[in-house]
Amino acid sequence: MIEFLENMFVGNPSQWGGGVAHSVLILSLVVAIGVMFGKIKIAGVSFGVTWILFIGIVFGSFGFNINEHLLHFMKEFGLILFVYSVGLQVGPGFFSAFRKGGLSLNVIAMVAGFVGRYFCNVNILN
């Protein structure tokens, strides 16, 4: 059991990390420690979730590497979650805002693009 835990934290002797379980443990520790530090306020100011970035930099400086495939998955999954959450926040008001002024603003943008293309020798479409 102790050898298992040691391999989880340290990784294989031949290389730092490499396993998926090791990578998930490292990512979980970075997020957990970053969130804990993010709750600390000094003079009423807190860095919040920015601490996750700082803790990740510290872990990286100590040589904690994670699986490249898992890292790629986490990047893509994080982007998907970000776009989804922005869509949930902005989505309900999109069509009402588009009805109020979006159509006229899009027409103005298209006219400006075509005027620049054909009368000012500005090539924005190619």
- Let me know if residue 113 belongs to a domain: no
- Let me know if residue 56 belongs to a domain: yes
**The pLDDT value given to residue 55:** 93
The 10s digit of each residue's pLDDT in 114-123 is 887 777 765 5
Number of domains in the chain: 1
Residue that is written with structure tokens 């009402």 in the block: 96
**The pLDDT value given to residue 24:** 83
- Let me know if residue 41 belongs to a domain: yes
- Let me know if residue 112 belongs to a domain: no
**The pLDDT value given to residue 81:** 93
The 10s digit of each residue's pLDDT in 89-116 is 888 777 777 777 777 888 888 898 888 7
The 10s digit of each residue's pLDDT in 23-74 is 888 889 999 999 999 999 988 888 888 999 999 999 888 877 787 888 899 8
Above 80 in pLDDT, residue 10? no
Look up residue 58 and give its two tokens: 């510290």
| CA 35 vs CA 31, 32, 55, 83: distances in Å | 6, 5, 10, 22
Can you give the residue range of the structural domain that contains 39?
A: 2-66
**Coil, helix or strand at residue 16:** coil
Residue that is written with structure tokens 């340290």 in the block: 10
Above 60 in pLDDT, residue 13? no
DSSP letters spanning 60-112: HHTT----HHHHHHHHHHHHHHHHHHHHHHHHHHHHHHIIIIIHHHHHHHHHH
- Let me know if residue 98 belongs to a domain: no
